[in-house]
């Protein structure tokens, strides 16, 4: 309970400093983390997490058995990244923008063993412009296996990825569980390729 309270205070502090960079005022609840992990593809062993925050979902992934070199956690906020690096020294905690995921994952050596089975995201996509959201989705699916999943949560009633982004990338969307026991309540969304062709970013270095 003390760890959860500490994480909540840390998250609030970072949100107050930069509300556009930190998606929520509070960390994800264990119930939301469980709902997201329930959407992992069968036999998942390798996961990329976008927006690790204070590590609420990261803890759930490690407890689920996805740890060490099989887990890459990306965080844009330098303070939260330092916290993640301390809390999860055996996992790959990387500081950077999710729009640069293919380059960052390659530099970290994560892709040496092949693509990820899933990308779990706590990013505030609703606060981003569509161009940036498209870059994030392009990068994520460039790092995923053909039937991999992009699992996102959102506080809004609509998909955080609009059709104008999904359709050009050949992606489909499915609404998952609505988690009432989260502050605020959240919905899980699952995105997958609806075509056989890969989603490849135009330029990894842009």
Residues 59-75 pLDDT 10s = 999 999 999 999 999 99
Task: Give me the residue spans of the domains in the chain.
Answer: 29-193
According to CATH, the topology of domain 29-193 is: Rossmann fold (3.40.50)
Best CA proximity match to 35, nearest among 137, 178, 148: 178
Q: What is the pLDDT of residue 80?
A: 94
8 Å CB contact between 111 and 2: no
Which residues of the chain are under the pLDDT cut of 70? 1-25, 195-206
CA distance linking residue 91 with residue 94, whole number of Å = 9
8 Å CB contact between 143 and 111: yes
CB atoms within 10 A of CB 199: 19
DSSP state letter for 187: E
pTM attached to this predicted model: 0.85
DSSP state letter for 44: -
């Amino acid at each position: 309970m003390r760890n959860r309270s500490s994480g909540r205070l840390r998250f609030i502090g970072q949100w107050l400093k930069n509300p556009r960079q930190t998606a929520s005022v509070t960390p994800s609840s264990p119930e939301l983390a469980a709902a997201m992990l329930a959407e992992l593809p069968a036999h998942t062993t390798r996961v990329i997490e976008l927006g690790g925050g204070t590590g609420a979902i990261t803890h759930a992934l490690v407890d689920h058995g996805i740890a060490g070199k099989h887990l890459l956690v990306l965080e844009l906020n330098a303070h939260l990244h330092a916290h993640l690096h301390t809390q999860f020294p055996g996992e790959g905690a990387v500081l950077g923008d999710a729009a640069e995921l293919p380059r960052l994952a390659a530099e970290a050596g994560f892709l040496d063993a092949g693509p990820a089975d899933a990308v779990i995201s706590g990013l505030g996509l609703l606060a981003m412009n569509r161009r940036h959201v498209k870059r994030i989705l392009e990068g994520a699916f460039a790092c995923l296996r053909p039937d991999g999943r992009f699992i996102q949560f959102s506080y809004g009633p609509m998909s955080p990825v609009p059709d104008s982004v999904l359709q050009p990338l050949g992606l489909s969307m499915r609404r998952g569980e609505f988690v009432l026991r989260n502050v605020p309540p959240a919905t899980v969304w699952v995105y997958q390729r609806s075509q056989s062709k890969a989603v490849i970013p135009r330029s990894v270095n842009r």
